[in-house]
Structures are given as structure tokens and as C-alpha cells.
Amino acid sequence: MAERDLERLMACYQRGDLSAATMLIRELSPQLRRFFVIQLSSRRDADDLLQETWLRIHDVRHTYRPGEPLLPWVYAIARHVRIDHYRKQRRKGAREEHVQDIGQIAAAPHGAHPEDDLEVLLAALPESQREVIQMLKVSGMSIEEVARATSSSIGSVKQKAHRAYNRLRECLGTAASRKSGKGGAS
């Protein structure tokens, strides 16, 4: 379509002619989409920016001066949309933390149950320590209640719990270093 015809469509669009707006969008969208695709690596982003451009054109259509070249006006808006997108992406990228920078986060394998892991960890403890930890941490009993239940002194329960915690830390530390490739025999 000739530039003069596009300018006439824009003037009609300014006056509220919906069919003129539809024709203008149909005529200019393919070349605006190419403009964005060339500038961006993502076709989806290009489509989003095309839509944003038409929204902005709609908002500022009253600023177009009939008789003036339309394409420079449209491309100026498209360029500003692209620049705004670029700035937004940079700000977003500056605020985001990359996963590899955070460190590895332990996650249970798909379908695994956390209680299975707990049972494996507790199995490494001597029976008396395992019993104390299960009562304290799994059942939520107090130290006094565990002492009564095991016919032990409070000091004995505390000592067993302390030794169990140390053993669990060792087991977890060994497992973490094994997963990360550190430690162990070479």
C-alpha cells in the first residue's frame, strides 16, 4: 500500500474509523514484526512488542499530524517500545540471582518421600541415640518425657541427643561432599 494511503487510513483512524484502524494494523504489522524479530532473538518477544506498539499507537494517535509521513512516526514509537523492553530486561536481569550463583539446593528425587531419607539417616545412629532423636524430633516429646520413657536421666538424654546430632551432621556433611564431588578417596 502506498504511503499516502497509509496516511489517509491513519487520519480516518484518528477520527474513530475502526475499519481504517484494522486495515492499518493489517498493512503495517508484518513489517513491524520483522523490525522486532531482527532486533530480538525471540519471536514471542517480537510479537509482544508488536502488540505493545499498537497499544501505544492507539494511546497517542492524536499526536499524529495528518499530511506528515506516517512510517517515521510509527517506527519512532516502535523504536521506543523496543528500547523500553531492553531497559526493562536489563533492570530485571540486574535484580535476578542466577541459580548457579546461589549454590546447589538439595532436593529429594521425584517420587521420594522425605520420611525415607530420615529413616536412612537415623539408621546410621546407634539404637539408643536413634530412639532419643525419634522421640524428641519426630514425636515432639520434651527431654523430661523422653527421660521418663527411656528410664534415663535428663543428662543422659541430652548426651545421647548431642552425640546423635553430631553423628547426623557428619553423615550429612559426607553426603553433601560426595554429591558435590569433594572429599572421599580419589
Give every CB contact of residue 128 below 8 A, 6+ residues apart in sequence: 150, 160
Q: How far apart are CA 184 and CA 102, in angstroms?
A: 24
pLDDT at res. 38: 81
Q: Among candidates 176, 162, 132, which has minimal Cα distance to 150?
A: 132
Residues spanned by CATH 1.10.10.10 within the chain? 114-180
Determine the topology of domain 3-94 in CATH: Rna Polymerase Sigma Factor; Chain: A (1.10.1740)
pLDDT tens readout for residues 126-180: 888 888 887 888 778 889 988 888 888 999 999 999 999 999 888 887 766 776 6
Which string of DSSP letters, residue by residue, matches the chain?
Answer: --HHHHHHHHHHHHTT-HHHHHHHHHHHHHHHHHHHHHH-S-HHHHHHHHHHHHHHHHHHGGG--TTS-HHHHHHHHHHHHHHHHHHHHHHHHHHPPPHHHH-----PPTT--HHHHHHHHHHTS-HHHHHHHIIIIIS---HHHHHHHHT--HHHHHHHHHHHHHHHHHHHHHHHHHHHT-SS--
- Cell representation of residue 76: 519512532
Residues spanned by CATH 1.10.1740.10 within the chain? 3-94
Per-residue pLDDT for 69 more than 70?
yes
Full-model pTM: 0.51
CA dihedral of residues 177, 181, 184, 186 (deg, nearest 10): -170
Q: How far apart are CA 9 and CA 19, in angstroms?
A: 9
pLDDT tens readout for residues 44-67: 899 999 999 999 999 999 999 998
Domain 114-180 - what CATH class? mainly alpha
What's the mean per-residue pLDDT of the chain? 83
